[in-house]
Amino acid sequence: MTPIVAKKLLSLVSTKKHLDALEEYMQERTLAAHLIMEQATDPKDWYQAQGAIKELRRLKTLREEVTQAAEDKNG
């Protein structure tokens, strides 16, 4: 992540209200992807849902990633 992008995202991940809303959204999308996996008859749909879950899990580390990138710019 570039320091410019990190700076833009810093207010999002530093505000508890915003971060909580983002985490709630990620949880809902993860549950929806699990439902797709349970009901999928085409392996392509299953793999797409699996990829979505992987990305949503990666977003859980967004705060740490943004903070680190912002510190690297200042350091």
- What pLDDT sits at residue 12? 87
Quickly list DSSP for 55-72.
HHHHHTTHHHHHHHHHHH
pLDDT tens-digit profile, the chain (75 residues)? 888 898 899 988 899 999 999 999 999 999 999 999 999 999 999 999 999 999 999 998 999 999 898 888 655
Distance CA 32, CA 45 (A): 13
Distance CA 23, CA 18 (A): 9
Domain spans in the chain, listed from the N-terminal domain onward:
3-74
- What pLDDT sits at residue 71? 83
